[in-house]
Structure 1
Protein backbone atom coordinates (compact mmCIF):
# COMPACT_ATOMS: atom_id res chain seq x y z
CA UNK A 1 0.00 0.00 0.00
CA UNK A 2 1.34 3.42 -0.95
CA UNK A 3 1.54 5.94 1.88
CA UNK A 4 -0.80 8.85 1.52
CA UNK A 5 0.86 11.83 -0.23
CA UNK A 6 0.37 13.98 2.86
CA UNK A 7 1.75 11.40 5.33
CA UNK A 8 4.89 12.30 7.25
CA UNK A 9 6.69 9.21 5.94
CA UNK A 10 5.97 10.16 2.34
CA UNK A 11 7.02 13.76 2.96
CA UNK A 12 10.29 12.78 4.70
CA UNK A 13 11.17 10.36 1.92
CA UNK A 14 10.44 12.98 -0.75
CA UNK A 15 12.51 15.69 1.01
CA UNK A 16 15.47 13.32 1.49
CA UNK A 17 15.35 12.29 -2.18
CA UNK A 18 15.28 15.94 -3.26
CA UNK A 19 18.18 16.76 -0.94
CA UNK A 20 20.30 13.88 -2.20
CA UNK A 21 19.48 14.60 -5.85
CA UNK A 22 20.49 18.24 -5.44
CA UNK A 23 23.75 17.41 -3.64
CA UNK A 24 24.57 14.75 -6.27
CA UNK A 25 23.95 17.30 -9.04
CA UNK A 26 26.30 19.83 -7.42
CA UNK A 27 29.15 17.37 -6.79
CA UNK A 28 29.01 15.51 -10.12
CA UNK A 29 31.44 17.94 -11.78
CA UNK A 30 34.08 16.88 -9.21
CA UNK A 31 33.67 13.24 -10.29
CA UNK A 32 32.11 12.33 -6.96
CA UNK A 33 29.19 9.99 -7.47
CA UNK A 34 26.25 8.94 -5.28
CA UNK A 35 27.35 6.98 -2.25
CA UNK A 36 30.94 8.23 -2.36
CA UNK A 37 30.76 11.29 -0.04
CA UNK A 38 30.61 9.17 3.16
CA UNK A 39 33.82 7.41 2.06
CA UNK A 40 35.57 10.76 1.63
CA UNK A 41 34.28 12.03 4.98
CA UNK A 42 35.52 8.92 6.82
CA UNK A 43 38.95 9.18 5.16
CA UNK A 44 39.09 12.85 6.13
CA UNK A 45 38.53 11.80 9.76
CA UNK A 46 41.18 9.07 9.53
CA UNK A 47 43.17 8.57 6.36
CA UNK A 48 44.73 5.17 5.74
CA UNK A 49 41.91 3.00 7.03
CA UNK A 50 41.94 -0.61 5.98
CA UNK A 51 39.24 -1.55 3.51
CA UNK A 52 37.54 -3.62 6.24
CA UNK A 53 37.55 -0.70 8.71
CA UNK A 54 36.26 1.67 6.05
CA UNK A 55 33.46 -0.73 5.03
CA UNK A 56 32.35 -0.94 8.67
CA UNK A 57 32.40 2.84 9.14
CA UNK A 58 30.35 3.57 6.01
CA UNK A 59 28.11 0.54 6.61
CA UNK A 60 28.77 -1.16 3.29
CA UNK A 61 29.66 -4.74 2.52
CA UNK A 62 33.35 -5.19 1.70
CA UNK A 63 32.41 -6.25 -1.86
CA UNK A 64 30.32 -3.10 -2.44
CA UNK A 65 33.09 -0.92 -1.06
CA UNK A 66 35.67 -2.62 -3.32
CA UNK A 67 33.62 -1.73 -6.40
CA UNK A 68 33.20 1.85 -5.15
CA UNK A 69 36.93 2.23 -4.38
CA UNK A 70 37.86 0.93 -7.82
CA UNK A 71 35.74 3.66 -9.40
CA UNK A 72 37.13 6.28 -7.01
CA UNK A 73 40.71 5.21 -7.87
CA UNK A 74 39.96 5.56 -11.58
CA UNK A 75 38.78 9.14 -11.04
CA UNK A 76 41.80 9.88 -8.84
CA UNK A 77 39.96 10.52 -5.56
CA UNK A 78 41.63 7.76 -3.53
CA UNK A 79 44.49 5.34 -3.73
CA UNK A 80 44.97 1.92 -2.15
CA UNK A 81 48.31 0.83 -0.79
CA UNK A 82 49.41 -2.34 0.97
CA UNK A 83 49.89 -2.08 4.71
CA UNK A 84 53.56 -1.66 5.74
CA UNK A 85 53.42 -4.55 8.22
CA UNK A 86 50.85 -6.88 6.66
CA UNK A 87 50.80 -7.07 2.86
CA UNK A 88 47.41 -8.82 2.96
CA UNK A 89 45.79 -5.60 4.22
CA UNK A 90 44.99 -2.83 1.77
CA UNK A 91 44.82 0.71 3.17
CA UNK A 92 42.85 3.53 1.53
CA UNK A 93 44.20 7.07 1.27
CA UNK A 94 42.60 10.23 -0.04
CA UNK A 95 44.51 11.98 -2.83
CA UNK A 96 44.90 15.75 -3.28
CA UNK A 97 42.06 15.57 -5.82
CA UNK A 98 39.97 13.73 -3.21
CA UNK A 99 40.60 16.46 -0.65
CA UNK A 100 39.58 19.16 -3.14
CA UNK A 101 36.48 17.16 -4.01
CA UNK A 102 35.68 16.79 -0.31
CA UNK A 103 35.75 20.58 0.07
CA UNK A 104 33.30 20.84 -2.83
CA UNK A 105 31.06 18.15 -1.32
CA UNK A 106 31.01 19.98 2.02
CA UNK A 107 30.16 23.22 0.24
CA UNK A 108 27.38 21.55 -1.75
CA UNK A 109 25.87 20.05 1.40
CA UNK A 110 26.01 23.41 3.19
CA UNK A 111 24.43 25.14 0.18
CA UNK A 112 21.56 22.65 -0.05
CA UNK A 113 21.05 22.80 3.71
CA UNK A 114 20.84 26.61 3.60
CA UNK A 115 18.19 26.39 0.88
CA UNK A 116 16.28 23.69 2.72
CA UNK A 117 16.19 25.66 5.97
CA UNK A 118 15.47 29.08 4.47
CA UNK A 119 12.79 30.76 6.57
CA UNK A 120 13.37 28.51 9.60
CA UNK A 121 14.10 30.10 12.95
CA UNK A 122 17.14 28.71 14.80
CA UNK A 123 14.75 27.34 17.47
CA UNK A 124 12.77 25.49 14.77
CA UNK A 125 15.95 23.92 13.44
CA UNK A 126 16.91 22.79 16.95
CA UNK A 127 13.44 21.32 17.50
CA UNK A 128 13.56 19.46 14.18
CA UNK A 129 17.00 18.12 15.08
CA UNK A 130 15.73 16.90 18.45
CA UNK A 131 12.68 15.25 16.86
CA UNK A 132 14.77 13.51 14.18
CA UNK A 133 17.23 12.28 16.81
CA UNK A 134 14.30 10.88 18.82
CA UNK A 135 12.99 9.13 15.70
CA UNK A 136 16.43 7.68 15.03
CA UNK A 137 16.66 6.46 18.61
CA UNK A 138 13.18 4.91 18.38
CA UNK A 139 14.12 3.06 15.20
CA UNK A 140 17.50 1.96 16.56
CA UNK A 141 15.83 0.46 19.63
CA UNK A 142 14.73 -3.18 19.19
CA UNK A 143 10.93 -3.64 19.13
CA UNK A 144 10.96 -5.63 22.37
CA UNK A 145 12.57 -2.71 24.27
CA UNK A 146 10.36 -0.05 22.67
CA UNK A 147 7.22 -1.71 24.07
CA UNK A 148 8.37 -1.49 27.70
Structure 2
Protein backbone atom coordinates (compact mmCIF):
# COMPACT_ATOMS: atom_id res chain seq x y z
CA UNK A 1 0.00 0.00 0.00
CA UNK A 2 1.25 3.47 -0.86
CA UNK A 3 1.44 6.16 1.79
CA UNK A 4 0.38 9.73 1.05
CA UNK A 5 4.00 10.92 0.83
CA UNK A 6 4.83 8.45 -1.96
CA UNK A 7 4.57 9.67 -5.52
CA UNK A 8 2.28 7.78 -7.84
CA UNK A 9 3.94 6.10 -10.83
CA UNK A 10 2.16 8.42 -13.29
CA UNK A 11 3.78 11.41 -11.56
CA UNK A 12 7.26 10.28 -12.71
CA UNK A 13 8.59 11.61 -16.05
CA UNK A 14 10.02 8.22 -17.03
CA UNK A 15 6.70 6.49 -16.37
CA UNK A 16 4.89 9.14 -18.42
CA UNK A 17 7.41 8.64 -21.22
CA UNK A 18 6.95 4.88 -21.16
CA UNK A 19 3.14 5.12 -21.21
CA UNK A 20 3.34 7.61 -24.10
CA UNK A 21 5.52 5.26 -26.16
CA UNK A 22 3.32 2.24 -25.37
CA UNK A 23 0.10 4.07 -26.30
CA UNK A 24 1.60 5.53 -29.48
CA UNK A 25 2.78 2.05 -30.50
CA UNK A 26 -0.64 0.54 -29.81
CA UNK A 27 -2.47 3.27 -31.74
CA UNK A 28 -0.03 3.00 -34.66
CA UNK A 29 -0.61 -0.78 -34.76
CA UNK A 30 -4.38 -0.19 -34.91
CA UNK A 31 -3.99 2.43 -37.67
CA UNK A 32 -1.65 0.11 -39.59
CA UNK A 33 -4.13 -2.78 -39.29
CA UNK A 34 -6.84 -0.61 -40.84
CA UNK A 35 -4.52 0.76 -43.53
CA UNK A 36 -3.33 -2.65 -44.80
CA UNK A 37 -6.58 -4.58 -44.26
CA UNK A 38 -7.42 -4.22 -47.95
CA UNK A 39 -4.28 -6.18 -48.81
CA UNK A 40 -5.50 -9.13 -46.75
CA UNK A 41 -2.62 -9.00 -44.29
CA UNK A 42 -2.17 -7.94 -40.68
CA UNK A 43 0.80 -6.16 -39.04
CA UNK A 44 2.51 -9.42 -37.98
CA UNK A 45 2.37 -10.58 -41.62
CA UNK A 46 3.79 -7.24 -42.74
CA UNK A 47 6.67 -7.61 -40.28
CA UNK A 48 7.51 -10.98 -41.85
CA UNK A 49 7.18 -9.72 -45.43
CA UNK A 50 9.34 -6.63 -44.84
CA UNK A 51 12.06 -8.72 -43.21
CA UNK A 52 12.03 -11.19 -46.11
CA UNK A 53 12.22 -8.24 -48.50
CA UNK A 54 15.35 -7.04 -46.66
CA UNK A 55 16.90 -10.42 -45.83
CA UNK A 56 16.05 -12.83 -48.65
CA UNK A 57 16.79 -16.44 -47.70
CA UNK A 58 16.75 -15.83 -43.94
CA UNK A 59 16.04 -18.92 -41.84
CA UNK A 60 12.79 -19.30 -39.93
CA UNK A 61 14.74 -19.26 -36.68
CA UNK A 62 16.64 -16.06 -37.56
CA UNK A 63 13.37 -14.40 -38.58
CA UNK A 64 11.68 -15.38 -35.30
CA UNK A 65 14.65 -13.94 -33.39
CA UNK A 66 14.52 -10.66 -35.35
CA UNK A 67 10.80 -10.30 -34.74
CA UNK A 68 11.10 -11.28 -31.06
CA UNK A 69 8.51 -14.05 -31.44
CA UNK A 70 8.59 -17.72 -30.63
CA UNK A 71 8.87 -20.43 -33.23
CA UNK A 72 5.29 -21.55 -32.54
CA UNK A 73 3.98 -18.06 -33.30
CA UNK A 74 6.04 -18.01 -36.50
CA UNK A 75 4.67 -21.45 -37.44
CA UNK A 76 1.13 -20.06 -37.19
CA UNK A 77 1.83 -17.00 -39.37
CA UNK A 78 3.87 -18.49 -42.22
CA UNK A 79 1.27 -20.95 -43.62
CA UNK A 80 -1.16 -18.08 -44.35
CA UNK A 81 1.50 -16.28 -46.41
CA UNK A 82 2.58 -19.50 -48.11
CA UNK A 83 -1.00 -20.48 -49.08
CA UNK A 84 -1.47 -17.05 -50.65
CA UNK A 85 1.66 -17.59 -52.72
CA UNK A 86 3.51 -14.70 -51.09
CA UNK A 87 6.42 -16.65 -49.62
CA UNK A 88 8.19 -19.92 -50.18
CA UNK A 89 10.08 -22.12 -47.75
CA UNK A 90 13.01 -24.18 -48.98
CA UNK A 91 15.37 -26.52 -47.20
CA UNK A 92 18.86 -25.11 -46.73
CA UNK A 93 21.38 -26.54 -49.21
CA UNK A 94 23.80 -27.56 -46.43
CA UNK A 95 21.41 -28.43 -43.58
CA UNK A 96 18.05 -29.90 -44.62
CA UNK A 97 16.61 -29.23 -41.13
CA UNK A 98 16.92 -25.46 -41.70
CA UNK A 99 14.15 -23.78 -43.69
CA UNK A 100 15.04 -20.70 -45.75
CA UNK A 101 12.34 -18.13 -46.52
CA UNK A 102 11.95 -15.99 -49.64
CA UNK A 103 9.31 -13.77 -51.17
CA UNK A 104 7.67 -14.84 -54.40
CA UNK A 105 7.14 -12.22 -57.13
CA UNK A 106 3.58 -11.74 -55.82
CA UNK A 107 4.96 -11.40 -52.29
CA UNK A 108 7.51 -8.84 -53.39
CA UNK A 109 4.84 -6.79 -55.17
CA UNK A 110 2.42 -6.91 -52.20
CA UNK A 111 5.25 -6.02 -49.78
CA UNK A 112 6.18 -2.97 -51.85
CA UNK A 113 2.54 -1.85 -51.83
CA UNK A 114 2.29 -2.42 -48.06
CA UNK A 115 5.57 -0.58 -47.40
CA UNK A 116 4.27 2.42 -49.34
CA UNK A 117 1.13 2.43 -47.17
CA UNK A 118 3.23 2.05 -44.01
CA UNK A 119 5.62 4.83 -45.01
CA UNK A 120 2.71 7.12 -45.84
CA UNK A 121 1.07 6.47 -42.47
CA UNK A 122 4.31 7.12 -40.58
CA UNK A 123 4.93 10.27 -42.61
CA UNK A 124 1.40 11.57 -41.91
CA UNK A 125 1.70 10.83 -38.20
CA UNK A 126 5.19 12.24 -37.71
CA UNK A 127 5.33 15.09 -40.23
CA UNK A 128 4.52 17.75 -37.59
CA UNK A 129 7.56 16.58 -35.58
CA UNK A 130 10.95 17.98 -36.64
CA UNK A 131 13.37 15.35 -37.97
CA UNK A 132 15.88 16.17 -35.22
CA UNK A 133 13.31 15.36 -32.54
CA UNK A 134 12.36 12.11 -34.32
CA UNK A 135 16.04 11.11 -34.26
CA UNK A 136 16.25 11.90 -30.53
CA UNK A 137 13.28 9.63 -29.85
CA UNK A 138 14.80 6.93 -32.08
CA UNK A 139 18.11 7.13 -30.21
CA UNK A 140 16.35 6.99 -26.84
CA UNK A 141 14.39 3.90 -27.95
CA UNK A 142 17.56 2.26 -29.33
CA UNK A 143 19.24 2.88 -25.94
CA UNK A 144 16.22 1.36 -24.20
CA UNK A 145 16.31 -1.68 -26.49
CA UNK A 146 19.98 -2.20 -25.64
CA UNK A 147 19.28 -1.89 -21.90
CA UNK A 148 16.36 -4.33 -22.05
CA UNK A 149 18.31 -6.85 -24.11
CA UNK A 150 21.20 -6.60 -21.66
CA UNK A 151 18.83 -7.06 -18.70
CA UNK A 152 17.27 -10.05 -20.44
CA UNK A 153 20.70 -11.62 -21.02
CA UNK A 154 21.64 -10.97 -17.36
CA UNK A 155 18.46 -12.73 -16.21
CA UNK A 156 19.09 -15.91 -18.19
CA UNK A 157 20.32 -18.80 -16.02
CA UNK A 158 23.85 -20.01 -16.58
CA UNK A 159 24.22 -23.49 -18.04
CA UNK A 160 25.99 -25.28 -15.23
Identify the TM-score tier after normalising by the shorter chain: 0.7 to 0.9
The 8 Å contact of residues 55 and 65 in structure 1, kept in 2 or not, is answered as yes
In the alignment, the residues of structure 2 paired with residue 48 and residue 24 of structure 1 have an alpha-carbon distance, to the nearest angstrom, of 26
Scaled by the length of structure 1, the TM-score of the pair is 0.78
Which of 107, 112, 116 is residue 98 of structure 1 equivalent to? 107
Aligned residue for 2:119?
Answer: 110
Q: Structure 2, unaligned stretches of length 5 or more?
A: 1-8, 155-160
Aligned residue for 2:148?
Answer: 139
1:11 aligns with 2:29: no
Greater RCO, 1 or 2 (C-alpha within 8 Å, sep 6+): 1
Scaled by the length of structure 2, the TM-score of the pair is 0.73
Aligned residue for 2:45?
Answer: 36
Q: Secondary structure at the match of 1:76?
A: coil
Larger radius of gyration: 2
1:68 aligns with 2:115: no
- The alignment covers a number of residue pairs equal to 143
Q: Structure 1, unaligned stretches of length 5 or more?
A: none
The 8 Å contact of residues 50 and 115 in structure 2, kept in 1 or not, is answered as no
CA RMSD of aligned residues (A): 2.8
Q: Secondary structure at the match of 1:129?
A: helix
By how many angstroms is 1:53 displaced?
A: 3.0
The 8 Å contact of residues 78 and 95 in structure 1, kept in 2 or not, is answered as yes
The 8 Å contact of residues 88 and 102 in structure 2, kept in 1 or not, is answered as yes
User: Judging changes above 3 Å, is the alpha-carbon distance between structure 1 residues 111 and 52 closer, same or farther for their aligned structure 2 residues?
Assistant: same
User: Judging changes above 3 Å, is the alpha-carbon distance between structure 1 residues 86 and 11 closer, same or farther for their aligned structure 2 residues?
Assistant: closer
User: Judging changes above 3 Å, is the alpha-carbon distance between structure 1 residues 119 and 51 closer, same or farther for their aligned structure 2 residues?
Assistant: closer
